[in-house]
Amino acid sequence: MKFVGVTACTAGIAHTYIVAEKIREAAVAAGHECRIETQGTIGVQDKLTEEEIKAADCVIIAHDIAVGGMERFAGKRIVDVPVQTAMKNPKSLIATIEKKLSQE
């Protein structure tokens, strides 16, 4: 499957980037493609393209503060979790999404 996502934590210094890597790693390990955009104190990095969003099977939003540009994901399947959930168990996050998508 193809995932895209956005991460944004309170301070925007560390967790935003750590959790982005954790989600990416878990998704790739499970055989998926994954691109994560970070919204931190230095602004948006690795911005998702329109094509990537269009091609994605699911959008993962891991955040503690409001995420900018949510309108880009209108009509997409969105999984919205606190940063800590993805920090704690990125593997089970991906597994849960897989299960959800396969039931549709």
Calpha distance 23→32 (Å, rounded): 11
Question: Which span (52-60, 66-74, 80-88, 92-100) binds other proteins, by CB under 8 A?
Answer: 80-88
Instruction: Check if 58 is active-site.
Output: no
CB 32 within 8 A of CB 3: yes
Query: Would you count residue 39 as binding other proteins (CB under 8 A)?
Result: no
Tell me which residue has tokens 């989600």. 23
Work out how close the CB of 53 gets to other proteins at its nearest, in angstroms, rounded to a whole number.
21
In this chain, which stretch among 14-22, 49-57, 72-80, 95-103 interacts with other proteins, using CB under 8 A?
Answer: 14-22
Structure tokens belonging to residue 99 = 């299960």
Q: Report the nearest approach of other proteins to the CB of residue 29 (Å).
A: 9
Dihedral angle sign, alpha carbons of residues 32, 83, 92, 58:
negative
Closest-CA residue to 9 (of 30, 27, 29, 23): 23
Answer for which of 3, 22, 63, 81 binds other proteins (CB under 8 A) is 22
- Residue 45 touches other proteins, criterion: CB under 8 A: yes
Member of 28, 49, 69, 84 binding other proteins (CB under 8 A): 84
